[in-house]
Amino acid sequence: MASFSFGAGNAAKLLRIPLYLAGRLATWIIPRSRDEWVFGSAVGIADGALALWDHARGEGEQAVWIVADDRQAAEAAARGIPTVRKGSAAAFWRTARARVIVVTHGFGDVDRYAAAGAFIVQLWHGIPLKRIGLDSPATVRTPVAALNRVAGPVIAAMYRATQRRIGLIPAASHLVRGRLESAFALSDENVPVTGEPRVDVLSSGSPESRRRAALDGLSAALHPDAPSERDHLSGARDAPMQTAAALSARSIVLYAPTWRDGAPDPAIPSRDDWTAIHAMLEEHDAMLLVRSHPLGAGDYGAGLGDRVRMLGSDRVADVTPLLPAVDVLITDYSSLVFDALLVPVPTAFLAPDAAA
């Protein structure tokens, strides 16, 4: 996925103000149904939205998933999930008609122009270890620094008004609840402490069954017949197939840095670093999996091979179910550290830009 920054996103948002106004007018005219739900997630058919989908459909709710591309459509079809394509007239209509809208990142997960007036469930995609939303200066940044003083307050006001439409955002704890309330300008009644649906997979079944399922999923993700673009360009396509049995015999290390508002990952190894990393992996019969943030950037091509593989969102939309297959997590201030604790997975912190 291409890199994204709030500056560029906010500039586009300001240019789209007429579309927001037109959408708001349409939602005043179009009556909402009493029983329709619309789901969407920036990462695809995954995350907390999928967990809630399974529950809602089990309760007989009428729902549809808004997909961004053919890959998401195929994943939905394999699960028997009806879909409409994002950006289409059908997506606008279904969003404008829905009584309940479920998202994991933002209103752009569905149709951003038709969300007003629905009951919005925001299943945020991670516990905020770092500052997010209104608590982060990056949220109201523009591409031109000189404009931040003027445009920043306008963007903040727009963001606050938009996020206050959220009817429900579940929190994992009372501490997390306070952070979510501050980040999204919400009151206590909108942020109940219920736990997060996206991590239910880490408590269902036995530890052994979760690990088997995770190893099977990881083996499928690393299959050489389904290479990511970056693996293909770097020659890692020729890496041998990793069966679940082979993976279980190795120590699996996952490196997962978080998003830095469009900046590249700060800890990309040098050539000498890669030499040392490969020697260590060989010595301990280990494999390093690299997962940049879906909206992040990082060129790890120089180090890819049998023992170093990419595990980006182009291979696995949601890495949470695969955590039971991981032996060590290396991260910085990614919310993945909290998910790993539920397995549990030992975690090492690497944040070379922490001072910045």
pLDDT digits (tens, 9 = 90+) for 135-152: 988 888 877 777 778 778
In this prediction, residue 22 carries a pLDDT of 94
Does the residue 356 lie in any domain? no
192 & 213 share domain = no
Asked, for residue 280, whether it belongs to a domain, the answer is: yes
Where is the domain boundary, 135, 169, 199?
Answer: 199
Whichever domain contains 192, its CATH number is: 3.40.50.11820
Asked if the structure places residue 182 within a domain, the reply is yes
Mark whether 122 and 241 lie in a shared domain. no
Ranges in the chain, pLDDT < 50: 1-2, 227-238
User: Looking at the structure, do residues 184 and 214 belong to the same domain, yes or no?
Assistant: no
* 354 assigned to some structural domain: no
The domain tally of the chain equals: 2
Task: Examine the domain organization and report whether 224 and 193 are in the same domain.
Answer: no
Q: How far is CA 53 from CA 40, 49, 56, 59, 63, in A?
A: 10, 6, 5, 10, 8
Q: Please indicate, yes or no, whether residues 62 and 158 belong to a single structural domain of this protein.
A: yes
Do 165 and 212 belong together in one domain?
no
Closest Cα to residue 248, out of 277, 202, 227, 217?
A: 217
DSSP state of 31: P
State whether 171 and 249 are in the same domain: no
What was the pLDDT predicted at 50?
A: 96
The reported pTM is 0.87
- Clarify whether residues 171 and 190 are in a common domain: yes
Q: Which residue among 157, 183, 199 closes a domain?
A: 199
Domain, as residue range, for 338: 203-349
The CATH number of the domain where 271 resides is what? 3.40.50
Q: Which of 134, 164, 199 is the last residue of a domain?
A: 199
Do you find a cis peptide bond into 137, omega within 30 degrees of 0? no
Q: Please tell me whether residues 226 and 193 are part of one structural domain.
A: no
Q: Are residues 11 and 108 in the same domain?
A: yes
Task: Give the integer Cα–Cα distance in Å for 81 and 98.
Answer: 16
Same domain? For 324 and 337 the reply is yes
Q: Where are the alpha helices (DSSP H) in 67-206?
A: 70-78, 89-97, 148-163, 174-184
Residues 207 and 187 in one domain: no
Please, which residues bridge with residue 254 across strands? 289, 329
- How many Å apart are CA 159 and CA 85, to the nearest integer? 26
